Amino acid sequence: MSFWRNQLHGPTDPARDAAWDDPPPRKGFFTDTSICIGCKACEVACKEWNGIPMDTLGMTGTSYDNTRSLGASTWRHVAFIEQDADRIAAARASGRQLIDLGMPTARPALSPTAEPGTGSAADPLAQSATAPELPDFRWLIASDVCKHCTHAGCLDVCPTGALFRTEHGTVVVQDDVCNGCGYCVPACPFGVIDRREREGDQVAVKNEGIAQKCTLCYDRLQADQRPSCAQACPTTSISFGTLADMRTTAHARLQVLHAQGLTEARLYGADEDDGVGGTGSVFLLLDEPEVYGLPPDPRVTTADLPDIFRRAGWAGAAMLGTAAAAFLADVVTDAVLGRSGRKGLS
């Protein structure tokens, strides 16, 4: 039972669970949206390296976001959200509530890279005399990517084995194995993976109908290179490394921002006890996840499988029992009443 529990929810080492012997440390991203300049170099570098075709062409009218969303031909997506003072105040208040509830800030600062004088482990909020004045306006910018979940729904439901867990703990589609069944598409709680369709007047497109998503540059990792998006990011908003380091860096940065009174800052995907067992892509956000188009409480669709199996088992057993009981009862009744022969069909 514990095997199944680890496989489907809760903290675990997914590479070992996938039967890799002595895998390297799990790899991941930390995307710090507080220093993202929205240059979209990550989107372009990703497309260049991975040979992804052009996506839908046209202006959306949604701030500077003409990419729309992650999808088969967009493995990095930079979101742009314009906010007024009320929304900023709400974000700061909701973040404050998270802190009061003992959310991530309670962790001690672990990173040796944290700057002296900018944060303290004891009580970061006590450090800041006053929170910075609320601006009238702000422009949130965040680069989204596949979460490479500890418990990946897409992988769990893939019937062909096209999706697999790499030794780095990441999740990768083998486009030459995928049969385009699309089961993975609704299985992803983040809406990341999708099948590639032709766009506009395209007559053909590479890997048409095949499910596609970020590979965390599996090929580059094999050659000891960073993923192309992290390599291209000019401000280190996207960092790459072992997931343990990424989580540590994320917590340290969160502490710095909290010490500055920016309680709107919060982490996303850093909690191993969440519905996907924590993600391989950790984010520092400045508002609630929904604002960025991220589910607030993602839950892998297969998380309940043990429960479902257990309950199905019990239900099955109960049904068997009921049937048996009914049969036995019938026999007993018949015996008691001295009836014999078959029940009427009517």
Partner 1 sequence: MANADCIVIQGSNMAECHPVAYQWVTEAKLRGATIIHVDPRFTRTSAVADKHVPIRVGSDIVFLGALINHVLTNGLYFEEYVRAYTNASALVSEDFADTEDLDGLFSGYDVETGAYDLRSWSYQSTEGGKVSGSGEGGSGSGGTVGEAGEEEHGGEKASRAAGHEHGAGGPPLDHANIAHDETLTDPRTVFQILKRHYARYTPELVEQLCGISREDFRYVADAVTSNSGRERTTCFAYAVGWTQHSLGAQFIRTAAILQLLLGNMGRPGGGIMALRGHASIQGSTDIPTLFNLLPGYLPMPMVGNHDTLEDYLAEIYSPRQKGFWSNADAYVVSLLKAWWGDAARADTTWAFDYLPRLSGNHNTYASVMGMIDGSVEGYFLLGQNPAVGSSHGRLQRRGMANLKWLVVRDLQLIESATFWKSGPEIATGDMRTEDIATEVFFFPAAAHAEKDGTFTQTQRLIQWHHKALDPPGDAQSELTFFYELGKRLRARLVGSTDPRDRPLLDLTWDYPEDAHGEPSADAVLKEINGTHLSGELTGKPLESYTQMKDDGTTSGGCWIYTGIYAGNVNHAKSKKPGRDQDSYAHEWAWAWPANRRILYNRASADPDGRPWSERKKIVWWDAETQKWTGDDVPDFPEATAPSYRPSPESSGVEAISGIDPFVMQADGKGWLFAPRGLLDGPLPTHYEAAESPVDSVLYPQQHNPARQLYPRRDNLLAPSAGEPGVEVYPFVFTTYRLTEHHTAGGMSRWLPYLAELQPEFFCEVSPELAAERGLTNGGWATIISPRSAIEARVLVTARLTPLTINGRTVHQIGLPYHWGVGGSGAVVDGDSANDLLGVTLDPNVSIQESKVASCDIVSGRRPRGAGLHQLVADYQRRAGVSTATGTQRLTAGVRPEAAAQTSAQERREEDE
Closer CB to partner 1, 62 or 97, in the complex: 62
Closer CB to partner 1, 70 or 188, in the complex: 70
Q: Binding residue for partner 1 (CB under 8 A) from 15, 36, 184, 267?
A: 36
Question: What is the x/- site pattern for partner 1, positions 132-171, by CB under 8 A?
Answer: x--x-xxxxx------------------------------
Residue 18 tokens read as: 């996938």
Query: How many CA within 13 A on the CB side of residue 334?
Result: 11
Strand residue runs (E) in 192-293: 194-195, 211-212, 238-242, 266-268, 281-285
What dihedral angle (degrees, nearest 10) is formed by the CA atoms of 36, 38, 40, 42?
10
Rule CB under 8 A: is residue 251 a binding residue for partner 1? no
Cα dihedral sign, 51-56-60-62: negative
Q: Which amino acid belongs to residue 231?
A: Q
Rule CB under 8 A: is residue 264 a binding residue for partner 1? no
Question: Number of residues in contact with partner 1, rule: CB under 8 A?
Answer: 40
Closer CB to partner 1, 128 or 174, in the complex: 128
Report, in Å, the least distance between residue 309 CB and partner 1: 45
Closer CB to partner 1, 84 or 334, in the complex: 84
How many DSSP H helices and E strands does the chain contain?
Answer: 11, 10
Query: Which of 321, 313, 315 has its CA nearest to residue 4?
Result: 313
Report, in Å, the least distance between residue 22 CB and partner 1: 30
Positions in 78-107 near partner 1 (CB under 8 A):
82, 84
Positions in 172-191 near partner 1 (CB under 8 A):
none
Closer CB to partner 1, 145 or 184, in the complex: 145
- Specify the DSSP class assigned to residue 221: H
Closer CB to partner 1, 286 or 294, in the complex: 286
Residue 248 tokens read as: 């540590």
- Specify the DSSP class assigned to residue 273: T
Positions in 229-248 near partner 1 (CB under 8 A):
234-236
Distance from the first to the final alpha carbon of the chain:
45
- Cα 70 to Cα 144: distance, rounded to the nearest angstrom: 8
Which residues of the shown chain bind partner 1 in the complex (CB under 8 A)?
34-41, 43-44, 47-48, 53-61, 63-64, 66-67, 82, 84, 115, 117-118, 132, 135, 137-141, 234-236
